[in-house]
Amino acid sequence: MKLIDGKVVAENLKAKIKVQVDELINNDIHPHLAAILVGDDGASQTYVTAKEKACAEVGILSTLYKFNDDITEEELLNTIEFINNDPEVHGMIVQLPLPAHISVDKVMAAISPEKDVDGFHAVNVGRMALGLPSYLPATPNGVIELLKYYKIETEGKHCVVLGRSSIVGLPVSIMMGQKKYPGNATVTLCHSKTKNLKEITLLADILIVAIGHPEFLKADMVKAGAVVIDVGIHRIPDAHKKSGFRLVGDVAFLEVSEKCSYITPVPGGVGPMTIVSLLTNTLKSAKSEVF
Binding residues vs a second copy (CB under 8 A): 121-132, 155-156, 158, 164, 166, 170, 173-174, 177-179, 184-191, 193-195, 200
With contact defined as beta carbons under 8 Å apart, do 22 and 59 qualify?
yes
Question: In whole angstroms, how far apart are CA 246 and each of 240, 242, 249, 263?
Answer: 9, 10, 10, 19
Query: Least distance (Å) from a second copy to the CB of residue 209?
Result: 15
Q: Which of 5, 14, 115, 118 is catalytic?
A: 118
Annotated catalytic residue 95: yes
Up-side HSE of residue 80: CA atoms within 13 Å toward CB? 24
Find out whether 228 and 249 touch, Cβ atoms under 8 Å.
no
Q: Of the candidates 171, 205, 202, which has an alpha carbon nearest to the alpha carbon of residue 189?
A: 171
Q: What's the closest the beta carbon of residue 193 comes to a second copy, in angstroms? A: 4
56 or 224: CB nearest a second copy: 224
Which residue, 20 or 124, is less far from a second copy as judged by CB? 124
Q: Which is nearer to a second copy, 165 or 261 (CB)?
A: 165
CB nearer to a second copy: pick between 134 and 274: 134
Question: Minimum distance between the CB of residue 136 and a second copy, rounded to whole angstroms?
Answer: 13
Q: What is the spatial distance between Cα 175 and Cα 185, in angstroms, rounded to a whole number?
A: 9
As a whole number of angstroms, the distance between CA 268 and CA 285 comes to 27
250 assigned to active site: no
**Residue 170 CB, nearest approach to a second copy (Å):** 7
Decide if 124 contacts 135 (C-beta within 8 A). Answer: yes
DSSP 65-91: EEE-TT--HHHHHHHHHHHHT-TT--E
Query: Of 5, 14, 20, 51, which residue is the catalytic one?
Result: 51
- The yes-or-no answer on residue 115 being catalytic is no
Catalytic residue among 20, 95, 157, 205: 95
- Annotated catalytic residues are 51, 95, 118
